[in-house]
Amino acid sequence: MSQPSTSGASASQARAALATDAIAMNDAALIALDWGTTSLRAYLFDAAGNVLDARASSAGIMNLPRPAAEGGFDAAFDAACGTWLDARPDLPVVAAGMVGSAQGWVEAPYVDAPADADSLVAGIVRVKTARGNTLHIVPGVLQRGDLPNVMRGEETQIFGALAGKAADAAGELIGLPGTHAKWAVVRNGRIERFHTFMTGEVFGALRDHTILGRTMTAPAAPDTEAFLRGVSVARDSGTAGVLATIFSTRTLGLTGQLAANEQPDYLSGLLIGHELAGLEAVFVQQQSSLAGKSLLLIGNDALCERYRLALAQFGCTQAALVQHATEHGLWRIATQAGFIASAETKVSASATSRTAS
């Protein structure tokens, strides 16, 4: 008995894949980009807000394939979504993140807090790409005052996290752990105020560029016990401030009380603990507390889990992790801006595309 042809099977699989891709492109309604400093993520949505396809690259605004003056942004844009636009040049494209910063493709000026989704839509800035498509860039948010604060990209995640939820008059606390951790209070659908803690960046600087890193070794796996020890020190002995406690990372090691491979997690817990202690101090001034508070966390799963453990040390045991906040936020802003074509328009555009091909 003859065996089935491998080449024939491969050809059939290839034809099936092409057919599936064609169906996906016919269903497509939006391209959305999460374009940060070190990464670029592209999402292809259908008209119901489902993600049909997604791509990721390291082509953030500080890591373009070539200098910006030599078309670096266009090159990164084409690599991320050029094939989608080849098939459907009519698709609207929206982007959020550092692509709209002063170092980005074009600056999208901040909108003032308090800011709602309508404020972001009103502040959208447009740039024409080399291939002729218009890229709609979402602005960031500026909190004015003696110590101004800004966010760019997080505002989209926040509105994505709240998509489908009723506006909360009492206020929703949302944490976004990361290089520059954000804590935002959202009330009645508006980003009312927020705080930034440079926790992630300070951790990297202390580990890599100070004497603290000289006695550290990388652990084989995260050490939760060492991490929580650091959180507890910040909570219970941190009144003198972070500058007075971080040296304990070294001295505990020198006195044999903290192993070299425990020191990175201890320092991480110490810094996150100081961040939460600072946040707690803000709430105390407002006659409130982290204890018993419900909140949302947006970000890397492992990092958010660390924050959840740390928050529990401050009496906050109701921290929920939000999945896909970026995609939901990009979709929400695009629909609110009216970028999503009607079913009739989409059918017409698809027919035109097929005729042209």
**Cα angle: 292, vertex 298, 299; to 5 degrees:** 130
What was the pLDDT predicted at 346? 46
- Mean per-residue pLDDT, 217-222: 96
Q: At what angle do helices 325-336 and 154-161 cross, to 10 degrees?
A: 90
State pTM to two decimals: 0.87
Please tell me the number of Cα atoms within 13 Å of 312 on its side-chain side: 9
Distance of CA 260 to the CA centre of its chain: 32
Report long-range pairs for 161-165 (Cβ below 8 Å, ≥24 apart). Answer: 161/296, 161/298, 161/322, 161/325, 161/328, 161/329, 162/186, 162/189, 163/328, 163/329, 163/331, 163/332
* Domains of the chain in sequence order: 25-152+340-356 (3.30.420.300), 196-324 (3.30.420.310)
Q: What is the pLDDT of residues 4-44, one digit of tens each?
A: 344 455 555 444 444 446 667 899 999 999 999 999 999 99
What pLDDT score was predicted for residue 287?
84
Instruction: Please give the mean pLDDT across all residues of the chain.
Output: 90
- Encode pLDDT of 151-189 as tens digits: 999 999 999 999 877 666 568 999 999 999 999 999 999
Instruction: Please compute the mean of the pLDDT values over residues 68-91 and round it to a whole number.
Output: 97
